[in-house]
Amino acid sequence: MKHTKKSCESAGVLSLEEMGWDVDLADAFSRYTGPYIPGRVACRQKTTYEVYLDHGFIQAGITGALRRAGKVPAVGDFVVLLHQPETGTSVIVDILPRKTVFTRGLPGRDGTDQVIAANIDTVFIVTAAGPDLNARRLERYRALVHSSGAQPVILINKADLANDPAALADEISQVTGGVPVVTLSALTRSGLSGLDPYLVPGSTVVLIGSSGVGKSTLINTLLGDAVQETTCIREYDGKGRHQTTVRQMFVLGSGTLVIDNPGLREVGIGTAGSGLAEAFPDIVSLAAGCRFPDCTHDHEPRCAVREAVESGLLSHDRLDNYLRLSRELAFEQEKAETGLVRIERKRWKHVGKLSHDLRNMKER
């Protein structure tokens, strides 16, 4: 497979359609008449966005209205842009409806989930042979991916460091409930062809995983180019290791869009509630046999889930992990809701002030 150069350099090679533009997006965009153009966000740096256009590329800011509404474009978003001839700059005025949203699960300050990327077809959950390989962590990532609507694939990188890569893959496959597992080495290129089914033209893949598992190395290998040397957005983290600090979309020679990500340190579960059920289908079906419909499988009598653990049908670790994740979820949801209440309150204060001002005007 031939792969070409990176992001901004390769920008302009694709048409909107080749980036995933479809009738739904065209329909949503059609209500913008005037000097508007559509694009797709490739990179976000503080206040500037790099946006792919139909066979083009542009740098843009966002409107104050969008920022005030808390609508922050994410990498992968299709957006509406307006060129401002007076300043010679372009601004993003709207975000078109997202097909999938992949959130970090950690609510932002206002209680909303932090969006990692939008309009994603496939998520490569990258881990590496060695200490990072951890079934519990993978389960956690899977729960996040499942609620996003994208297809998860687990990549075990650094296969060159494993004594028996095939055995590793087998072991991980036991606990991933049918999610495909690909073992490879970004360094030696072994196993790389296992990714071919997902690297199809026009589809968008995002790479997530702990820092240091080799996400950027894999992207370089797929691009056939050292991206780090051509992008300035890497910084030294003091631990003697380079680290990606910005999310960025690249175009592979295959026509696939690939998004590199900074290593995720803490992956919360956020409001990805439905993802929990997807990651633990065994527990969900067991729970149907619990005496209480709202059983937490913690202390209630006649709990079918705990009985399954006692009879050896379900592993104790797995239930533990499930319980921990659901507690975390409840906590995050509460935080999110408190955030919402705060926003509501602010809005009512604003409305209150408005009607007060209006009354004053009438009285005058």
Ligand X SMILES: Nc1nc2c(ncn2[C@@H]2O[C@H](COP(=O)(O)OP(=O)(O)OP(=O)(O)O)[C@@H](O)[C@H]2O)c(=O)[nH]1
Question: Of 341, 349, 315, 326, which is closest to residue 135 (Cα–Cα)?
Answer: 315
As given in the structure block, the two tokens for residue 197 are 């089914």
Of 186, 252, 255, 216, the closest CA to residue 7 belongs to: 252
Q: Please identify, using beta-carbon distances, which residue of 148 and 220 lies nearer to ligand X.
A: 220
Are 51 and 58 in contact by the 8 Å Cβ rule? The answer is yes
Is residue 243 a contact point for ligand X (CB under 6 A)? yes
In the complex, minimum distance from the CB of residue 162 to ligand X, in angstroms, rounded to a whole number: 10
> Which lies closer to Zn ion via its Cβ, residue 110 or residue 310?
310
Of 42, 81, 156, 213, the residue at the interface with ligand X (CB under 6 A) is 213
Closer to Zn ion by Cβ: residue 145 or 319: 319
Q: Does 194 bind ligand X (CB under 6 A)?
A: no
Over the Cα atoms of the chain, what is R_g? 23
For residue 287, the minimal CB distance to Zn ion (Å) is 6
Sequence-distant (6+) residues with CB within 8 A of 309 are 315, 316, 319
Q: Does 99 bind Zn ion (CB under 5 A)?
A: no
Which CB, 122 or 326, lies closer to ligand X?
122
Q: Is 127 in the site for Mg ion (CB under 5 A)?
A: no
Least Å distance, CB 252 to ligand X, is 16
- Span near ligand X by CB under 6 A; candidates 81-89, 179-187, 300-308, 349-357: 179-187
* Residue closest to 247 by CA, chosen among 219, 289, 275, 280: 219
Q: Min. distance of Cβ 247 from ligand X in angstroms?
A: 11
Cα 256 from Cα 204, distance rounded (Å)? 6
Residues 134-173 that bind ligand X (CB under 6 A): 157-158, 160-161
If you write DSSP's letter for every residue of 81-111 in order, what string do you get?
A: EEEETTTTEEEEEEEPPPS-EEEEEEE-TTS
State which amino acid sits at residue 158: K
Compute the least distance from the CB of residue 308 to ligand X, in Å. Answer: 37
With contact defined as beta carbons under 8 Å apart, do 248 and 231 qualify?
A: yes
Burial group, residue 149, by CB count within 10 angstroms (0-12, 13-18, 19+): middle
Q: Which of residues 89-108 bind ligand X (CB under 6 A)?
A: none
Closest to Mg ion by CB, 6 vs 215, is 215
Name residues contacting Zn ion, limited to 291-350 (CB under 5 A): 295, 297, 303, 305
The single residue among 118, 150, 182, 186 that binds ligand X, judged by CB under 6 A, is 186
244 binds Mg ion (CB under 5 A): yes
Q: Which span (35-43, 89-97, 213-221, 339-347) binds Mg ion, by CB under 5 A?
A: 213-221
- Residue closer to Mg ion, measured from CB, 132 or 332: 132
Q: How far apart are CA 289 and CA 278, in angstroms?
A: 18
**300-359 positions binding ligand X, by CB under 6 A:** none
Nearest in space to 130 (alpha carbons), one of 163, 170, 179: 163
Does 15 bind ligand X (CB under 6 A)? Our answer is no
Q: Are 38 and 46 in contact (CB under 8 A)?
A: no
Give yes or no for residue 290 binding Zn ion (CB under 5 A): yes
Say how many residues touch ligand X, by CB under 6 A. 19
Q: How far apart are CA 19 and CA 121, in angstroms?
A: 12
At 32, the amino acid letter reads Y
346 class by beta-carbon count within 10 Å (0-12 exposed, 13-18 middle, 19+ buried): exposed
Binding of residue 183 to ligand X (CB under 6 A): no
Site residues for ligand X per CB under 6 A: 157-158, 160-161, 185-187, 211-217, 242-244, 262-263
Which residues here bind Zn ion, judged by CB under 5 A? 290, 295, 297, 303, 305
